[in-house]
Structure 1
Amino acid sequence: MAQAMKIAIVDDEQDMRQSISQWLALSGYDTETFASAEDALKVLGPEYPGIVISDIKMPGMDGIQLLKKLMGADSTLPVIMITGHGDVPMAVEAMRVGAFDFLEKPFNPDRMSELAKRASNARRLTLDNRALRRELSGGTQIMNKLIGASPVMERLREDILDLGQADGHVLIDGETGTGKTLVAHALHAVGSRAGKKFVLVSCAALEEDTLSKRLFGPMMPEDAQLPAIEEARGGTLVLEDVEALSDTLQARLLSVMNDQGTPAETRIIAISNLQEAGKTSEDVLRPDLFYRLAALRITMPPLRQRGEDILTLFTRLSEQFSEEYGCEAPQVSAQEAAQLLQAPWPGNVRQLINIAERAVLQSRRGSGTIASLLMSDHEEMQPVMTTEGKPLKEYVEAFERMLIDNTMRRHKGSIASVMDELCLPRRTLNEKMAKYGLQRSDYL
C-alpha cells in the first residue's frame, strides 16, 4: 500500500492551520503545520515527500516569497496558494511564479481535497520518476539485471553499450516477455542522457484520441503532465507497442522526428511487441517511420536460445521469491534442470518469473514439482520434449554449474562447506569453478 502523502500547511492563523489539517487528515493525508514561511523552509526541500498549502498574506516572508524560494529549489513541488476574497492579482502572480493552483477564501473543503488529490498524484509521479532515474543513472546497476553468460546475452550487452552511446533513435523488437522495456531503460542509463527525463508511453493501452493528447497535446487543464514529446525533451521517450499507432499518429510522430535536429533533441526508443503470427514491425509501420526508427535495432533473444542462463535465472528468481515469502528456495533435481532447459518457453523470461514464484509457493506447502508447473502452462508438452535438441554433455554441465552456484550461494562462499556438501576435493572444485566462470568473491 502506498504511503500517505505529506501536506505541509503554512499559515500564521492557528485556527486556519488546524481546520485545514483536520479536514485533510480525515481524507487520509499526513499533515504538518507551520506558523511562518521561515519555519516551513527549514523542512521543505527538493525531496519533500508531499505538497504544500500556503496562505499568501503572512507577516514577515509572505506566501509569494515562500513560493519563489520553493520553486527555486524544486520547480516540480506542487504549492497550492490561499488568497483573500477577490484578490485576483495575487492569484495571477502566484500562478505566474509556479503555483499548482489557488483557493479563494472562504473555500469549499471538498474543493481543497480535490486539489490536494491532484497535486499529490502529480508529486508522487515526480518522486517515482526521480527514484527510477537514480536507480538507472548507473549503467552498471541496470546492466547487472541483464543476467546471463550465454553468447546471445554477451552480444546483447555489447549492443546496448554501443547503441547507448550512439544516441540515435532505436527499435527494439522480439518475442513477448523477453525484457524489451528493461533494455530500453539500459540504453538510456548507459548513454549521455542518463540524467535526463525517461518517459514511457504504452501505445496499446490508450484510445487513439487519448493517446494523441498524451503524446502531442493539447493536454486538458486538469492534467498535471506535459505532452510526452514535451515532457521527454532532451531525454528519452519510449513508445511501447509502437505498432498500435494509427496511420495518423505515425505521420505526426514522423513529423516531430523530422523537425528535430541531429543529434535528435529527444531520443525515441520504439518497442514492437507484435502478437500476430507472420508479421513484423516493418509490415505495420509506414516505411519512412520504420527506417527512421530501425536505423539502430536490437532484436531480443528468446529464452529458449539462452542455454544455461535459464537455470541461472531460475535460481536467482527463486531466491528472491523465497526471501519475499519467508521460506527456503526449492532444490532443483537433475531431471528438473533438464526439464527447465528443454521447455519451449513461449512466454520467455516473464513466464520463467511466474514459474519460479509458483515453485517457491508450492515448495512452501511441501507439494508439487517443477515439471507439473511446466505441464500446467503447456498441457501438450511432454516432460522431456524439447524444441531444440542438445548434447547430453550440455545438460550435465548446465546442471553441474547450477549445483555449484546454488551451493556456493547457500554457504556464502565457504569453500570448505561446499567441498563437504558436494564431496569434492579442493582442486576439483577450483577447476570446475574456473571452467564455469564462478568466483568465490561473488558469494561473500
Structure 2
Amino acid sequence: MLTPAALLTDPVAHWPASAVLIVDDEEGMRSFLVKALAARCGQVLAADSAEAAAALVQRQRFDLIVLDITLPGQSGMDWLKALRQQGNSCEVILITAFADIDTAIEALRAGASDFILKPFRLTQLLNAVKHSLERARLARENFVLRRTLAQGQAAASAFLGDSPVMAALRRDLQRAAAAESPVLLCGESGTGKELAAEALHRGGPRAAGPFVPVHCALLPPDQAEAELFGRGGGAGSARDGLVHYAQGGTLFLDEVSELPAAAQAALLGVLAERRIRPVGSEQLAAVDLRLVAASQRDLQAEVGAGRLRADLYYRLQVIALRLPPLREHKPDIAVLLRHFIAELAPRLGVQPLRPSAREIDYLMQYGWPGNVRELRNFVERSLILGSMNLSALYPALEAPPEPPERPPTTDLQTLERQHILAVLDSVQGDKSAAARLLGISRRTLERRFAEWGLGS
C-alpha cells in the first residue's frame, strides 16, 4: 500500500494541466489520491459518492475520473455506464478491492480506460493516470485534425524570399517561437498570418501539441463564448470548447477583435489566470496553452471605438509582429512564383510553367492587393489554363504590353515605359486608376511622364 512518505520521494515530473475527479467513499483513500495527483495535474477534485460526482460533472468537464466501484448508493460501475449513455467520453480508471475476471471484463465493456486492484503501488497508479491523460491528449489532437484541413506545405515556406524585409520577419518569428508569451500578428489579408502562427507553434516548445486555429469572425456571436470555452450543464448540453482541444499546444485566434464582449472578458482569464469557466459552470478549469492572435484591423482604433477591450489588447501584444504586404518586398515575387509552381503543378497534375523575364517583370509592376494569397491563386489559375494568365490582373489587356511594329526590347527603362503606357491605355487614360494598378503613387507616375517629356 502507498504511504505519504513514498509520495514525497516520488520523482515523476509535472504533467500538462488536466482536470481530474476522484470518486471514493473512503476518506483516507480520497485524501491520498488527491495528494498523489495534485502536484502533477492542474486541478483535482474529490467526491464520496456517484451522486456527488454527477453534480460536479454537470458543472464542469474532466479529463479523467478515478472511480471506485464499491460506493454507497449508485455503484461506480452503474454510474460509468450512465456516463457513457449520456455521451460523456472522458477517461475513467476503475479501482476496487474486490474483483475477478468477470468484473474486469464488465468494466472494460462499460467504457473504463483502465482497471486497478487495491492495494496498488504509486507507480502503478501514476502510470495508469499518465496513459489515460495521454489518450485524452491524442483524442483532442484527432479532433483538431478532423476539424482543420491540411496546409499542404510547411508553414515556414510562406516566408520565402531574399529581401531584407522577409529576412527580418523570419528572424523575428524564430525568436518569438522560443518564448511562451502571447503573440499578436498584424497585417493585411493574404499576408500569411495563420501560417505565421503555425510557424510560431512548430518552432516552439509546444510543437508536439495541437495547433488549433479559430476564425473569430465565423463564430456566431451568441455562441462564441461556448464554442471557445465549452458549456457546462446536464446530459446533452455539456460540451468541450476549442480551448480544451488546444491544451498542451497553441490556440490561434484570427480576427480577435471580432469576438463579442463576453468572450473577450473570458479570454482575459486565459491570459491572466490560466483558467477558464465554461458557460453555465461554477468551476474553473486549468488551461495549459500558448495564445497567438491576429487581425488585419488597426487594433488601437478598435480599442478607441470600444470594439476591443483595452486590457485584452495590452495583454495580447506582449510580442507584436507585422507581416508586410507583398508590395513591400516585390523582389521576392520571382522566388515565390517558382515555389508555387513547383508546389501546385504536381498536385494539379499539369506541366509546370516557365515564366519569361518579361512576364516576371510584368508581375512585379502589379500592386497585389491580395498579397501572397493572390499570387498563389494567380499561379494556380495559370497552371490550369496552361499559360501565365496575365490578363486576369488587368482584364482590359489580352496579353503583356508590346510596342506595336517594334522588335522586342530587353532595355528595362523601355519596358517600364511601354508597360506604364499600356496600363494607362487600359484604363482610358485615368492616371489615378493606373497608379493604383501599378502599385505606385500618382506623384511617381507624373514624375515618370515628366522625365519622358510627355507632360499631361
TM-score range with shorter-chain normalisation? 0.5 to 0.7
In the alignment, the residues of structure 2 paired with residue 230 and residue 153 of structure 1 have an alpha-carbon distance, to the nearest angstrom, of: 34
- Please tell me whether the aligned partners of residues 78 and 123 of structure 1 are also in contact (alpha carbons under 8 angstroms): no
Residue aligning to 1:299:
322
Partner AA of 1:181 in structure 2: E
CA change 1:77–1:383 in 2 (3 A) is farther
Partner AA of 1:387 in structure 2: G
Q: Deviations over 1:24-80 (max 9, x none)?
A: xxxxxxxxxxxxxxxxxxxxxxxxxxxxxxxxxxxxxxxx9xxxxxxxxxxx9999x
Residue aligning to 2:272:
258
In the alignment, the residues of structure 2 paired with residue 337 and residue 254 of structure 1 have an alpha-carbon distance, to the nearest angstrom, of: 47
Mapping 1:48-127, distance limit 5 Å: 94-97=110-113, 125=143
Higher mean Cα deviation, 173-182 or 314-323? 314-323
TM-score, normalised to structure 1, is 0.53
Residue aligning to 1:321:
344
Residue aligning to 1:243:
257
CA change 1:97–1:306 in 2 (3 A) is same
- DSSP 3-state at the match of 1:298: strand
Higher mean Cα deviation, 184-193 or 265-274? 265-274
- Please tell me whether the aligned partners of residues 144 and 245 of structure 2 are also in contact (alpha carbons under 8 angstroms): no
In the alignment, the residues of structure 2 paired with residue 282 and residue 189 of structure 1 have an alpha-carbon distance, to the nearest angstrom, of: 34
Higher mean Cα deviation, 335-344 or 346-355? 335-344
Relative contact order higher in (CA < 8 Å, ≥ 6 apart)? 2
CA change 1:377–1:285 in 2 (3 A) is farther
Residue aligning to 1:386:
438
Residue aligning to 1:226:
240
In the alignment, the residues of structure 2 paired with residue 377 and residue 174 of structure 1 have an alpha-carbon distance, to the nearest angstrom, of: 30
Mapping 1:158-177, distance limit 5 Å: 158-177=171-190
- Please tell me whether the aligned partners of residues 152 and 301 of structure 1 are also in contact (alpha carbons under 8 angstroms): yes
- Please tell me whether the aligned partners of residues 225 and 231 of structure 1 are also in contact (alpha carbons under 8 angstroms): no
CA change 1:334–1:297 in 2 (3 A) is same
Q: Measure how far apart 1:129 and its partner are.
A: 8.0
Q: Measure how far apart 1:329 and its partner are.
A: 2.3
Residue aligning to 1:290:
313
Q: Measure how far apart 1:178 and its partner are.
A: 0.6
CA change 1:282–1:190 in 2 (3 A) is farther
Partner AA of 2:259 in structure 1: L
- DSSP 3-state at the match of 1:271: strand
Residue aligning to 1:339:
362
CA change 1:307–1:224 in 2 (3 A) is farther
Q: Measure how far apart 1:203 and its partner are.
A: 1.1
How many residues end up aligned between the 2 structures?
Answer: 276
Partner AA of 2:270 in structure 1: V
Partner AA of 1:184 in structure 2: A
- Please tell me whether the aligned partners of residues 178 and 349 of structure 1 are also in contact (alpha carbons under 8 angstroms): yes
Residue aligning to 1:185:
198
Higher mean Cα deviation, 143-152 or 336-345? 143-152
Higher helix share: 1
In the alignment, the residues of structure 2 paired with residue 126 and residue 90 of structure 1 have an alpha-carbon distance, to the nearest angstrom, of: 31
Q: Measure how far apart 1:238 and its partner are.
A: 0.9
Mapping 1:425-440, distance limit 5 Å: none
CA change 1:260–1:377 in 2 (3 A) is farther
- Please tell me whether the aligned partners of residues 255 and 295 of structure 2 are also in contact (alpha carbons under 8 angstroms): yes
- Please tell me whether the aligned partners of residues 200 and 238 of structure 1 are also in contact (alpha carbons under 8 angstroms): yes
1:202 aligns with 2:220: no
Q: Measure how far apart 1:147 and its partner are.
A: 1.3
Mapping 1:20-31, distance limit 5 Å: none
In the alignment, the residues of structure 1 paired with residue 333 and residue 190 of structure 2 have an alpha-carbon distance, to the nearest angstrom, of: 14
Q: Measure how far apart 1:266 and its partner are.
A: 2.0
Partner AA of 1:143 in structure 2: A
- DSSP 3-state at the match of 2:223: helix
Residue aligning to 1:373:
392
In the alignment, the residues of structure 2 paired with residue 336 and residue 281 of structure 1 have an alpha-carbon distance, to the nearest angstrom, of: 44
State percent identity of aligned pairs: 32
Q: Measure how far apart 1:370 and its partner are.
A: 3.4
Residue aligning to 1:52:
none
Partner AA of 1:355 in structure 2: F
CA change 1:124–1:78 in 2 (3 A) is farther
Partner AA of 1:150 in structure 2: S
CA change 1:312–1:78 in 2 (3 A) is farther
Mapping 1:412-427, distance limit 5 Å: none
What RMSD over aligned residues (CA atoms) do the two structures have, in Å? 4.3
Q: Measure how far apart 1:289 and its partner are.
A: 0.4
In the alignment, the residues of structure 1 paired with residue 369 and residue 149 of structure 2 have an alpha-carbon distance, to the nearest angstrom, of: 33
Q: Measure how far apart 1:338 and its partner are.
A: 1.6
- Please tell me whether the aligned partners of residues 224 and 260 of structure 2 are also in contact (alpha carbons under 8 angstroms): no
- Please tell me whether the aligned partners of residues 198 and 235 of structure 1 are also in contact (alpha carbons under 8 angstroms): yes
In the alignment, the residues of structure 2 paired with residue 278 and residue 356 of structure 1 have an alpha-carbon distance, to the nearest angstrom, of: 35
Q: Measure how far apart 1:310 and its partner are.
A: 1.0
Q: Deviations over 1:382-434 (max 9, x none)?
A: 59962248x9xxxxxxxxxxxxxxxxxxxxxxxxxxxxxxxxxxxxxxxxxxx
CA change 1:97–1:131 in 2 (3 A) is farther
Partner AA of 2:201 in structure 1: H
In the alignment, structure 1 segments of 5+ residues that lack a partner are: 1-63, 65-75, 80-86, 99-120, 392-444
Residue aligning to 2:373:
350
In the alignment, structure 2 segments of 5+ residues that lack a partner are: 1-76, 78-88, 93-102, 115-138, 276-286, 398-425, 428-432, 445-456
- Please tell me whether the aligned partners of residues 141 and 210 of structure 2 are also in contact (alpha carbons under 8 angstroms): no
CA change 1:242–1:313 in 2 (3 A) is same
Q: Measure how far apart 1:164 and its partner are.
A: 0.8
- DSSP 3-state at the match of 2:225: helix
